């Protein structure tokens, strides 16, 4: 014989914005850093000497439409 047991379903509680805000800021800073390295890391604005970063993100530059030649 099959007995059906209904268990109460836990309702998810919303996450407060105060807990999410630091993660959004951190994610935004990471995105800005990524945009810098893909879009501007060469020439006069270069932080890293040489062309290592440029060559590493070269295909990403073309994919995102940044000029580099």
In a domain, 25, yes or no: no
Q: Are 62 and 68 in contact (CB under 8 A)?
A: yes
Residue 57's Cβ-count burial label (10 Å; 0-12, 13-18, 19+) is: buried
In a domain, 57, yes or no: yes
Ramachandran angles phi, psi of 43, nearest 5°: 70, -135
Count of structural domains within the chain:
1
Q: What predicted TM-score, i.e. pTM, was given to this entire model?
A: 0.62
In a domain, 56, yes or no: yes
Q: Are 48 and 41 in contact (CB under 8 A)?
A: yes
In a domain, 6, yes or no: no
Domain extent, residue 60, equals 44-69
Q: Are 56 and 38 in contact (CB under 8 A)?
A: no
In a domain, 51, yes or no: yes
pLDDT tens for each residue of 12-40? 888 888 999 999 999 999 999 888 877 77
In a domain, 3, yes or no: no
In a domain, 33, yes or no: no
Q: How far apart are CA 39 and CA 68, in angstroms?
A: 9
């Amino acid at each position: 014989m099959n007995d059906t047991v209904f268990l109460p379903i836990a309702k998810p509680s919303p996450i407060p914005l105060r807990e999410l805000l630091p993660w959004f800021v951190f994610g935004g800073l990471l995105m800005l850093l990524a945009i810098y390295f893909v879009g501007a890391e060469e020439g006069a604005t270069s932080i890293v000497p040489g062309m290592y970063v440029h060559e590493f993100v070269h295909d990403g530059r073309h994919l995102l439409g940044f000029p580099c030649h």
